[in-house]
Amino acid sequence: MKKVLVTGATGSIGEEIVKEYAKNGFFVYIAYNSNHQKAQNLLEEIDNKGELISFDIKDKESIKNSLENLDVDVLINNAGIIKDNLFFFMSDDEWEDVINTNLNGNFYITKIISKNMMMNKRGSIVNIASISGVSGNAGQANYSASKGAIIALTKTLCLELGRYNIRVNALAPAIIESEMTKDIPNLKEMKKAIPLGRFGKASEVAKCAYFVGVDATYISGEVLNISGGMIR
């Protein structure tokens, strides 16, 4: 049975990715930080075809202790947070928390998991970036910087890991109906800028995560925009 590690698995997008991979026969490692009950419920929802893993994504020792011996076919780097503010008003903590979670955590996790993939001469890594990392977004200097860096990391790892038969790609969702976006102001106005006239669904991101992670065997180093046509 093939195996996948999904970080940020208890969030709206992560939850749908877990379900999508389980539906397609994968054993799913459900990685979460603190919401044990939600993770347990998710595990039961996929008929216990997986395992719970808990670690602090900002603590490299915690990550190492949890993942050092983990062997998976696919890694989905989905964990992330937002702490929005205009740049002038952004605190050091708001900047550092987002960078440490979204970028540094990705680095620590990928470094450990890719090592085992290199030994196996196979693997696929999918980084969940954001449209904010492609085009920037006012009030999200920290988030945009972290996701832009993830895109650059994706392209670099494609070059470095390709020789080991490891593909590395990124997804760049725009506004997806989720826990992270429900409190964004002016949502109605933002919807008008989307040619499809609606926000995306977490399940739609999950299907892309499966396609890029598993089926698209000759695609690497790419960023798939999931924006309803907003970014072209």
Set 143, 164, 210, 218: catalytic member: 143
Residue with tokens 């205009």: 86
Residues 6+ apart with CB under 8 A from 30: 6, 9, 10, 18, 39, 42, 43, 50, 51, 52, 53
Give the C-alpha separation, 232 to 223, whole Å.
12
Instruction: Write the single-letter amino acid at 217.
Output: T
Contact 199, 175 (CB under 8 A): yes
- Assess whether 108 carries a catalytic annotation: no
Q: β-strand 166-173 against 123-128: which pairing, if any?
A: parallel
Question: In 3-state terms, what secondary structure has residue 224?
Answer: strand
Of the candidates 31, 25, 72, the one whose C-alpha atom is nearest the C-alpha of residue 47 is 25
75-108 per-residue burial string, b: 16 or more CB within 10 A, e: under 16: bbbbbbbbbbeeeeebeeebbebbbbbbbbbbeb
**Residues annotated catalytic, as ranges:** 143
